[in-house]
Amino acid sequence: MGEIRLLSWNVNGIRALTRKGFFEWLARDTPDVLCLQETKVHPDQVNTDLRVPPGYHTYWNSPERKGHGGVALFSKMEPLNLRYDFDSKFDVEGRVIIAEYADFTLFNVYFPNGKQGPERLRYKMKFYDVFLDYADALKSAGKRLVICGDVNTAHKEIDIARPKENSKVSGFLPEERAWIDIFITHGYVDTFRHFHQEPNQYTWWDIKTGARARNVGWRIDYFFVSENLLPSVTGGFIESDVMGSDHCPIGITLRTG
């Protein structure tokens, strides 16, 4: 029986973050598994230091359009299997890595942002639904799931500094929040809220308004687990003091073996 530490971080451009102390942070924190979102790189733009960091296997899913999206997985344990989409309609934006381990199956997902307009919001809601169908099928087959990433929606008023002012903004729309309600009723647990009920806990702050200094933020990054894995989760946390992106890392600790 052991314990591992899993982190998730929307880095808003991994190459920019490497100039802001990413490698030094990684060497200090040494997570067993690190899921990155919004890497904004293509394979030909990933240098050796990123491709082969000491102690990690790395896997990348990049979008067709350069400079946007993308996810990466840094893992001390080599996954048994990997998949880079849950439906071929959604693989062009490089939003998904699914890694199967002996004790759980990990989803690293950069969910779409719906702020660009009605068409993009419809795409986001469709993405949510297709993802849930795929996750449910795995869970029904007995898999234990860890689902992390930038979900791009704050669930409840406690998860956003200014709920009234943002009630008509994508990321806090009723239909987006209702989908998280549905997701949870399907047997998934918000691990941070399982351990922490206090307000003013956020994972994203608007850079343009200097919101981080005032902690005017949104909690839009999550670790969910399927209920059949919850007894193995020993903690959930937000690393709000880690700088370098407009998001901060989040994590869980998990018993394995």
Residue 52: HSE in the Cβ half-sphere, 13 Å Cα cutoff: 1
Alpha helices, H only, 207-246: 211-214
Using an 8 Å Cβ cutoff, are 130 and 87 in contact? yes
Which of these, 151, 148, 154, lies nearest to 218 by C-alpha position? 154
State the virtual CA torsion across 183, 248, 78, 226 in degrees, nearest 10.
Answer: -20
> For the stretch 103-128, what's the b/e string if a residue is b when 16 or more beta carbons lie within 10 angstroms of its beta carbon?
bbbbbbbbbbbbeeeeeebebbbebb
Using an 8 Å Cβ cutoff, are 161 and 200 in contact? yes
Query: Which of the following is catalytic: 150, 159, 190, 221?
Result: 150
Using an 8 Å Cβ cutoff, are 59 and 46 in contact? no
Say whether 150 is catalytic: yes
| SS3 of residue 256 by DSSP | strand
**Measuring CA to CA, how many Å separate 71 from each of 61, 63, 240?**
5, 9, 21
| SS3 of residue 105 by DSSP | strand
Give the catalytic positions in this structure: 150
